[in-house]
Amino acid sequence: MPPFREIAATISRQIHQDVYPEGSMLPKRSILADAFGVDENTISRALDVLQSQGLVRGLRRHGTIVLKPLAHELIDLGSIVEFDGSSYRLSKVFKTFRPEPTIVGRRRAPADVARLLGVDVDDLVLVRECLMLDPADDSRRMLASTYLPLSLVEEIPVLRAGDIGDGGTYGRLEEHGHSPLSWTREAGARVATPEETEQLAMPLGVPVIGLLYTATDPQGRVCDVTSIVMSGTRFRIVDKLARNERAKEAAP
Domain with CATH 3.40.1410.10 in the chain: 73-238
The alpha carbon of 244 is separated from its chain's Cα centroid by a whole number of angstroms, namely: 31
- Cβ atoms within 10 A of the Cβ of 40, count? 13
State residue 25's pLDDT score: 94
pLDDT at 80 over 60: yes
pLDDT at 5 over 90: no
The CATH code of the domain at 73-238 is: 3.40.1410.10
Q: Which of 36-45, 139-148, 237-246 comes out lowest in average pLDDT?
A: 237-246
State residue 162's pLDDT score: 92
% helix, strand, coil for the chain, step of 5 = 30, 30, 40
Position with higher pLDDT, 17 vs 172: 172
Question: Which run of H or of E encompasses 166?
Answer: none
pLDDT at 69 over 80: no
Domain with CATH 1.10.10.10 in the chain: 3-66
Q: State mean pLDDT over 84-96.
A: 78
Q: State mean pLDDT over 229-243.
A: 84
* Structure confidence by residue, pLDDT tens digits, 165-201: 989 999 999 999 999 999 999 999 988 888 998 898 7
State residue 85's pLDDT score: 73
d(C-alpha 73, C-alpha 247), whole Å: 30
What contacts 126, CB < 8 A, 6 or more positions away?
104, 105, 106, 147, 148, 149, 150, 153, 159, 160
Question: Which run of H or of E encompasses 11?
Answer: helix 3-16
Give Cα separations from 74 to 77, 138, 239 (angstroms).
Answer: 10, 19, 10
Q: State mean pLDDT over 111-139.
A: 92
Cβ–Cβ under 8 Å, residues 147 and 169? no
What pTM did the predictor assign?
0.73
Q: State mean pLDDT over 145-161.
A: 96
Return the DSSP state at 25: B
State residue 143's pLDDT score: 96
CATH 1.10.10.10 fits 3-66, yes or no: yes
State residue 82's pLDDT score: 82
